[in-house]
Amino acid sequence: MLIKIFRASLANASGKHNNVLFVNIPRVHSVRRRSSMNSRITFTEDFFFRQLFDHQSSTYTYMLADLGSKEAVLIDPVLEQAKRDSHLIQELGLHLKYALNTHMHADHITGTGYLKKLIPGCESIISRASGAQADKYLENGDVVKFGRHTIQAVATPGHTNGCMTFIVNEQGIAFTGDTLLIRGCGRTDFQEGNPRTLYDSVHQNIFTLPENFRLFPAHDYKGNMESTVFEEKNYNPRLTKDIDTFVNIMENLNLPYPKMIDKAVPANKQCGLYDIPPDA
Ligand SMILES: N[C@@H](CCC(=O)N[C@@H](CSS)C(=O)NCC(=O)O)C(=O)O
Ligand SMILES: [Fe+2]
């Protein structure tokens, strides 16, 4: 198509038309880039998506909904933000069907247990391998339905044994929890962390998704909000390395333990219902 435009311009050649050539040259480059980076899959009209943030723990919570049936889910809600989330659900006229966790968090108390109290009928979900209590347990490959939409749960252990990535194929999005962070990944020095397992999880289950799939992590500490499979496959400073270099990086992160770990893990084992602050 571009070649035809070129030829037409040249056939009419006069000094003025030369400019057309310069307009077209960069467009050739942008078309080439679009194949891997810019071909965003747009949400269907009946799909609602909202990214929410907890500043204290730098946690992202995601609200998804089917706008036909109004059924909604929350991924990785935070206890201190449960009232915010339930208020938004109410304002939007949605029905919260499930509150899911990508894994048993170590840095904050999950909001799932409290949301179940705020919104009767809501059920909590986590992987069976997490060892945490919930109403429903996920195994690798299970699906979670809300309205006509489907979340596919894929086991991506390594940060913890029970880590899962939640994929909504039709919308081209995946929620990676702490398995894959933007230009980073979950630490592997506590709970059941294992860098080799995490490396394999990412390479086998996330980097194999279409490159234009958008990735949404459970945390970001630098102000990033989302990434893509293409970006992380090419620019993740840890996971683009070979496995031995990756293991070496992970074994030398020397991060301080999360401030809340001693409180968060026992609480999250009980769906966030252990020792809840009185005015949570
Ligand atoms: N400073 C924070 C905890 C930061 C932290 O350890 N984050 C975890 C995810 S929460 S389990 C992590 O995996 N970080 C990876 C990294 O490279 O930063 C606090 O005290 O809560
Ligand atoms: Fe975590």
Indicate whether residue 219 lines ligand 1 (CB < 6 A). Answer: yes
Task: Record the tokens describing residue 134, joined without a space.
Answer: 């919930």
- pLDDT of residue 93 exceeding 60, the answer is yes
DSSP per-residue letters across 55-91: TTTTEEEEEEEETTT-EEEEES-BGGGHHHHHHHHHH
C-beta of residue 207 within 8 angstroms of C-beta of residue 233: yes
What is the pTM (predicted TM-score) of this model?
0.88
Quote the CA–CA distance of 266 and 109 in Å, as a whole number: 9
Indicate whether residue 184 lines ligand 1 (CB < 6 A). Answer: yes
List pLDDT tens digits, range 154-205. 999 999 999 999 999 999 999 999 999 999 999 999 999 999 999 999 999 9
Task: Record the tokens describing residue 217, joined without a space.
Answer: 């992590």
Interval between CA 215 and ligand 2 midpoint (Å): 16
Q: Look at residue 40 in the predicted model and tell me its pLDDT.
A: 82
Q: Closest residue (by CA) to atom 11 of ligand 1?
A: 106
Indicate whether residue 106 lines ligand 1 (CB < 6 A). Answer: yes
Report every protein residue that has its C-beta within 5 angstroms of ion ligand 2: 178
- pLDDT of residue 59 exceeding 80, the answer is yes
Quote the CA–CA distance of 14 and 143 in Å, as a whole number: 62
Query: Could you tell which of 104, 253, 255 is best to mutate to test the pocket of ligand 1, judged by most ligand atoms within 8 Å of the CB?
Result: 255
The ipTM (two decimal places) reads 0.99
Least confident of 24-28, 141-145, 247-251: 24-28
Quote the CA–CA distance of 262 and 257 in Å, as a whole number: 10
Ligand number with the minimum distance to the CA of 107: 1
Q: Closest residue (by CA) to atom 20 of ligand 1?
A: 258
Interval between CA 258 and ligand 1 midpoint (Å): 6
Indicate whether residue 187 lines ligand 1 (CB < 6 A). Answer: yes
| Phi-psi sector, 205: left (phi>0), alpha (psi -120 to 50), beta | alpha
Ligand number with the minimum distance to the CA of 76: 2
Query: Could you tell which of 78, 104, 178 is best to mutate to test the pocket of ligand 1, judged by most ligand atoms within 8 Å of the CB?
Result: 178
Q: Closest residue (by CA) to atom 21 of ligand 1?
A: 258
Ligand number with the minimum distance to the CA of 258: 1
**Which atom of ligand 1 is nearest the CA belonging to 219?**
9
List pLDDT tens digits, range 96-113. 999 999 999 999 999 999
- Rounded to 10 degrees, the C-alpha dihedral 215/140/129/97 comes to 70
Query: Could you tell which of 79, 110, 181, 252 is best to mutate to test the pocket of ligand 1, judged by most ligand atoms within 8 Å of the CB?
Result: 181
Quote the CA–CA distance of 3 and 8 in Å, as a whole number: 9
